[in-house]
Structure 1
Amino acid sequence: MSDDREMRRLSGGSRECMTSIAVAELDGAPVVVGADNGGSLRRWDLSSGKCVRLPLELDAAGLEDEWYDEMGWDEADHSQKSPGREVPAADIVATMTVARFDGRPVAVTGGSQYDLFLHTGVADMHGSAVRLWDLRTGRKVGKTLAVPDYVTGGRICSLEVVASERGPVAVVASEYSALQAWGLTRNELLTYVKTASTNGVMGTATLEGRPVAVTGGAEAALEVWDVLAGERIGGPLTGFEPATRAVAITQLNGRAVVVAGGDDEKLRIWELASGEPVGRPMTGHASTIDTLATAHVGGRVIAVTGGRDDTTRVWDLARGEQIGEPLQGHVCLAVAEIDGRPVAVTGHHGTAVRVWDLTFAGPDRGR
């Protein structure tokens, strides 16, 4: 059965499973970018539907000498820099987002919990790194960004880039209760703090010029952070059953709010400043909500959620209700504006990527 909200179905161009999807602008035109567990980017031109598979320069993914110097390793220890094993691509490109850096579009990737172990050969080093890649060539940009420590945050679960007074900042939440912020302009670690949540769920936004992050996971609370200061803002957000799987920050009726979903299949809203719940939980998914994005469509604030029931659902956050029938099929999710039109992009376990028209969610459209 066809769905007139589906604008385009894109061929995957690879048998590898995608780990992340994002929308970027390349040479003035919108493109969909997918990272796969084979260590490549797939880049779709939305005008033609053409897919380009872009292998990443994975042999440059190692750690620079400066990192080993910060660790206090002497020349004898440097032999461990080449452990003599091939690092699986999936351990370097576990998650991905896109950004603009130094005037060019880049993919920003985060590694798995074995990333640093496989690059150093140190068995008790369970940490991961952030890397930038040129979206045109697949070449690595700048340094490998990793905390100089033996026990870091494990696998990078959430990765977003936000604007700040110090330039673009890559904000990272890891599975072992770590929140990091990297200043991309100078390749510097700005924040490294321990959170109360495992599993590394995170949403970010820039509010009044300051980057803010909300972290959650397996615990029944969310925490709000001033990213640059590395300090908590207010008390925890509570009132739900763990685990949280997806978090976003948006503006609703002139207030900053946190939107979250997870294993209890419900979508919830809190006012960020007070920590108080907004409205009643929204229901509709028949299984875990594990991806979430927000957007403004015709003045209406919406959330788009992906669930393990293989549906993508659209919600009116002010009214606390679902808009229209679910979009069918989901794994990864991105929401963007393409040529002035709001769209959702969904990926699947196989190779299909679909682009959906979200204008039906505007206030003048039927429910």
Structure 2
Amino acid sequence: MEEKKKGVNVEVDELPEHDAQGSNDRRDAPKKDPHENDSEICDCRWCPKHSPRKRKLTVMPCGHMMGGRNLIVCIDGTANQFGEKNTNVIELYNLLLKDMDDNQRTWYNSGIGTYARPHWRSPKYWQQVVVHKIDLTIAWNFDLTVQAAYRWLADNYKEGDCIFLFGFSRGAFQVRALSGMIHKVGLIHKGNEVQIPFAYELYADPKSDNEEAPQVGSTDKKVSMAQRFKEAFSRRNVRVHFVGAWDTVSSIGVARGKRVLPETTEGMTHVCYFRHALALDERRVKFLPEYAWGGTTLPPESEAKHKSGRRSHSDRVHPQVLEVWFPGTHSDIGGGNAKNAGMDRSRPPQRWMASQAAELGLRIGPFKRELLLSEQIEFRESLTGLWHLFELLPFRRLTFARSQPGINTTRMPHLWSHRKIHDGQKIHYSLVLGKTESAYVPKARPPSDNPSFWDTLRNEPFQNSTQLLEIEMFYRGADAVTKILAGSPVDDLLKQIFADETGPQLFYDEVIETIRSWNERKPELALNVKHQLLHRTVDILQGKSGSIKLRKWGYIGTHLVELLKSGSDEDRRVVKGFQQQYTQDINCLFELQGHRGLVWSVAISPDGKRIVSGSRDNTIRIWDMETGAQVGEPLLGHGGHINSVAISPDGKLIVSGSSDMTIRIWDAETGMQVGESLRGHEHSVLSVAFSHDGQRIISGSRDNTIRIWDAAAGTQVGVPLQGHTDWVRSVAISPNGKRIVSSSDDKTIRIWDAEKGTQLGEPLQGHRSPVWSVAISPDGQRIVSGSLDDTIRIWDMETGTQVGESLQEHSGNINSVAISPDGTHIISGSDYKMIQIWDLETGKQVGEPLRGHTSCVMSVAISPDGKRIVSGSLDQTVRIWNAEGILV
């Protein structure tokens, strides 16, 4: 990049401008923060000038406030840490929204036995190798991790915070222990960190619940030592909101003890919500799971009475405790079996856990893509090699007895036994949805001895007569869309979906995602199938649009091009009906994607059928106005950024100006360059325009000059027009071809005699900053200019005087202006990511701005019939807007 010769402006590139024919010229990069004047909230989380987004605060059944601040602790499984094989814990941590205005604080700890390694020649390295192996075996740092997480919570907790804890394997047991510690001894006040080891000892000691001591301030009532500590050192009424565990493993030492840490296997009802993902195919004795009640889902009678006083708020949608089985072994459920350096696998156990937490207040980003049917089931055998030896050894282990009371632990060898599914637990729908190369039968023992259990479960799953399936509403929506595409009956399924208040939204979302991906399906969907989905969706959602959060039309418009282009009149009618009823921002008809750089310039052909765009990616692209589809291949040849494009009055030629200091002429039909490049400018060409008879091309440049060219001969006509003292940003030519108007970084506008090449009158002065864009009205009587001073000004062509007051209701630099074909309206594009429409006579804004671009609007053009507006943006897209009802 090179420095601007005056002041501190640095060139990032030049930006284009638009004249009366629809051409756009190019200008330099914005001279100030594009959002410097922003005042309202937007969706960009990176903008330092925008206020934090305000969230609606909602009281949940447990008493916590959804929408408030979240504290999130993530603890990984044994030997798991960030790397090529990332677990669900790391992937979830990656999904968490962590910006300042997301109001979430996070803490992550790698699994037991993972540490940063010193150089291998260091004695500390070999010492750490030994410690590492011991830690992997007996987890002697288990309590240190729990205490570290507890310390972080104590340091950061504020009244009203929601605490979320997530863990995998031993990490899952650690977060369960952490939640139990907070319940038993409370969360100490900040500043009492030296008490944490003692607090952990009190928590871990089962006798601390029984030892009686006088209550603080009383000589009569006796309380336990743990309760007394809680009252003296801890905050009041701190309760963990959510615990998410992937396949909890409790074997902290060589074998499971008779007792485990308090509150970890006593139903998990001390937390607001507990979610547990379990592995159907894990068989290793050292990886036996710990259910909410340890080895069962049924509490002992004494425990049930003891816990009956705890707050419970289970409901049909969000039960307090939910344990769900998924296909796969231990590391299939928690992640870490497969390479996942991009942290984007997000298999069903991860998605289920994330969605459960999100429904209860966690704020996460979207998954990068939908899963294929072949990705629903993932299974890699874990019982291999030396693990077989452990199956023969007499470890103390759980029996998982299904009836209570019963023998809950034993030292009998495990002998490759399968896990047992207990009453109250669920089986995830991915088992039914998934497609595998060979028949998949889970290894876990079902709750009944029926040999056809798994086949029965897979047949007509949505009837779910056994109530064993955990079917997220998303899957019901996906199944409904699949049935519609296949032409199968769907009414009964839709009744189930719409029985839930969230059903219409989930069905609608699935339809939208299907539209976005249907061109990638194998085999490709036929046009009549696409028509059927849109037609049925309009009928199914009739009268429900008010309860649905609609997507913007631009989100799916380009995916409906084929129906619009190749379909019948009926297809187009259906698409239009869907657009009008079930999309928002329908003024944005298409978002055209393809450029890999900023779009500096757009122009529209005289017949209104084609759009031409020029970009920083050094390419010119042609688009179909009706369908938004790209026409042909990009036009290549320039050796620099395309700063400006224009189309000849007969629509046959395209002219482009570039940072390579050349102007090129192209055949609009073939995309081939016509003749040699026009050379003469000594610096970047920032703006080009055709005369109304198509015989002349006008160009403005960073060399401070304007040049006139013979379009047919490709030669310069006369001498350069000189007078500007800084870069010429924009040029336009009057309808009668007698006047050229130019604007410059010297803050002036100048009028020239097109035949003589002489300046007419004095420069038009009034703007306080560089003028990036000019346009001439169809009758040739008015000039409109847009400037970095955030104003639009209207000038009289004959007298050179300003007409009326400046149009100043803007926020951000005015990058481009255009005038409607009937001369009644001005269109402007600004740094504020929107297009504004103005009444040329009164100077008043007309209607609401057109919003949709995610960055500065650098160029605007209007179709000859006034029905369409086209814009190019720094967000690398071109958008087509519906102007009917606004301009015409």
Residue 278 of structure 1: how far off its partner (Å) = 0.5
Identify the residue that residue 311 of structure 1 maps to in structure 2.
834
Judged with a 3 Å threshold, the aligned counterparts in structure 2 of structure 1 residues 233 and 355 are, in CA distance, closer, same or farther, namely same
Deviations 1:193-234 (A, max 9, x none): 212242212232334x33422222222322100122101112
Residue 242 of structure 1: how far off its partner (Å) = 2.0
Residue 34 of structure 1: how far off its partner (Å) = 1.6
Q: Is the 8 A contact 2:821 2:866 kept in 1?
A: no
Deviations 1:23-42 (A, max 9, x none): 126xx670112223333332
Q: RMSD over aligned Cα, in angstroms? A: 2.5
Judged with a 3 Å threshold, the aligned counterparts in structure 2 of structure 1 residues 162 and 137 are, in CA distance, closer, same or farther, namely same
Residue 171 of structure 1: how far off its partner (Å) = 0.3
Question: Structure 2: how far apart are the matches of 1:182 and 1:38?
Answer: 26
The answer to which structure has the higher strand fraction is 1
**1:219 equivalenced with 2:769 (yes/no):** no
Letter in 1 for 2:619: S
**1:348 equivalenced with 2:877 (yes/no):** no
Letter in 2 for 1:265: D
Identify the residue that residue 630 of structure 2 maps to in structure 1.
51
Deviations 1:119-141 (A, max 9, x none): xxxxxxxxx22111122332210
Q: Is the 8 A contact 1:203 1:213 kept in 2?
A: yes
Judged with a 3 Å threshold, the aligned counterparts in structure 2 of structure 1 residues 53 and 332 are, in CA distance, closer, same or farther, namely farther
SS at match of 1:94: strand
Question: Structure 1: how far apart are the matches of 2:755 and 2:676?
Answer: 21
Deviations 1:301-356 (A, max 9, x none): 11100111111111101011111111113534333336x44321012334432211
Judged with a 3 Å threshold, the aligned counterparts in structure 2 of structure 1 residues 14 and 159 are, in CA distance, closer, same or farther, namely closer
Letter in 1 for 2:859: L
**1:136 equivalenced with 2:669 (yes/no):** yes
Identify the residue that residue 337 of structure 1 maps to in structure 2.
863
Question: Structure 2: how far apart are the matches of 1:182 and 1:169?
Answer: 6
Percent sequence identity is: 23
Identify the residue that residue 82 of structure 1 maps to in structure 2.
none
Question: Structure 1: how far apart are the matches of 2:789 and 2:849?
Answer: 18
TM-score, normalised to structure 2's length?
Answer: 0.32
**1:282 equivalenced with 2:864 (yes/no):** no
Q: Residues 1-367 of structure 1 correspond to what in structure 2 (within 5 A)?
A: 2-6=584-588, 8-24=589-605, 30-58=609-637, 89-91=639-641, 93-99=642-648, 105-112=652-659, 115=660, 128-147=661-680, 152-164=681-693, 168-191=695-718, 192-207=720-735, 209-250=736-777, 256-297=781-822, 301-328=824-851, 329=853, 330-337=856-863, 340-362=865-887
Residue 172 of structure 1: how far off its partner (Å) = 0.5
Residue 190 of structure 1: how far off its partner (Å) = 1.2
Judged with a 3 Å threshold, the aligned counterparts in structure 2 of structure 1 residues 232 and 53 are, in CA distance, closer, same or farther, namely same
Judged with a 3 Å threshold, the aligned counterparts in structure 2 of structure 1 residues 94 and 281 are, in CA distance, closer, same or farther, namely closer
Deviations 1:236-274 (A, max 9, x none): 2112212111111115xx771111121111111111111
Question: Structure 2: how far apart are the matches of 1:291 and 1:36?
Answer: 15
Question: Structure 1: how far apart are the matches of 2:746 and 2:821?
Answer: 30
Q: Is the 8 A contact 1:175 1:199 kept in 2?
A: yes
The answer to which structure has the higher helix fraction is 2
Letter in 1 for 2:882: D
Judged with a 3 Å threshold, the aligned counterparts in structure 2 of structure 1 residues 289 and 29 are, in CA distance, closer, same or farther, namely closer
Residue 357 of structure 1: how far off its partner (Å) = 2.2
Judged with a 3 Å threshold, the aligned counterparts in structure 2 of structure 1 residues 296 and 42 are, in CA distance, closer, same or farther, namely closer
Question: Structure 2: how far apart are the matches of 1:332 and 1:129?
Answer: 21
Q: Is the 8 A contact 2:600 2:873 kept in 1?
A: no
Q: Is the 8 A contact 2:643 2:687 kept in 1?
A: no
Q: Is the 8 A contact 1:335 1:342 kept in 2?
A: no
Judged with a 3 Å threshold, the aligned counterparts in structure 2 of structure 1 residues 301 and 106 are, in CA distance, closer, same or farther, namely same
Question: Structure 2: how far apart are the matches of 1:194 and 1:12?
Answer: 39
Deviations 1:70-99 (A, max 9, x none): xxxxxxxxxxxxxxxxxxx325x3322222
Letter in 1 for 2:705: A
Question: Structure 1: how far apart are the matches of 2:619 and 2:702?
Answer: 24
Question: Structure 1: how far apart are the matches of 2:678 and 2:820?
Answer: 30
Identify the residue that residue 501 of structure 2 maps to in structure 1.
none
Residue 9 of structure 1: how far off its partner (Å) = 1.0
Letter in 1 for 2:613: G
Letter in 2 for 1:99: S
Q: Is the 8 A contact 1:19 1:96 kept in 2?
A: no
Judged with a 3 Å threshold, the aligned counterparts in structure 2 of structure 1 residues 158 and 278 are, in CA distance, closer, same or farther, namely same
Question: Structure 1: how far apart are the matches of 2:595 and 2:632?
Answer: 8
Question: Structure 2: how far apart are the matches of 1:325 and 1:226?
Answer: 38
Deviations 1:17-71 (A, max 9, x none): 333211126xx6701122233333322222333223524352xx6xxxxxxxxxx
Q: Is the 8 A contact 2:647 2:653 kept in 1?
A: yes
SS at match of 1:259: strand
Judged with a 3 Å threshold, the aligned counterparts in structure 2 of structure 1 residues 258 and 218 are, in CA distance, closer, same or farther, namely same
> Which ranges of structure 2 fall in alignment gaps of 5 or more residues?
1-551, 553-583
Letter in 2 for 1:334: V
SS at match of 2:652: strand
Residue 362 of structure 1: how far off its partner (Å) = 4.3
Letter in 2 for 1:109: S
Identify the residue that residue 74 of structure 1 maps to in structure 2.
none
Identify the residue that residue 209 of structure 2 maps to in structure 1.
none
Residue 106 of structure 1: how far off its partner (Å) = 2.2
Question: Structure 2: how far apart are the matches of 1:163 and 1:48?
Answer: 28
- Runs (4+) of structure 1 moved beyond 6 Å? none
Q: Is the 8 A contact 2:728 2:744 kept in 1?
A: yes
The number of residue pairs the alignment matches comes to: 302
Judged with a 3 Å threshold, the aligned counterparts in structure 2 of structure 1 residues 185 and 248 are, in CA distance, closer, same or farther, namely same
Identify the residue that residue 48 of structure 2 maps to in structure 1.
none
SS at match of 2:640: helix
Judged with a 3 Å threshold, the aligned counterparts in structure 2 of structure 1 residues 236 and 40 are, in CA distance, closer, same or farther, namely closer
Question: Structure 1: how far apart are the matches of 2:873 and 2:733?
Answer: 27
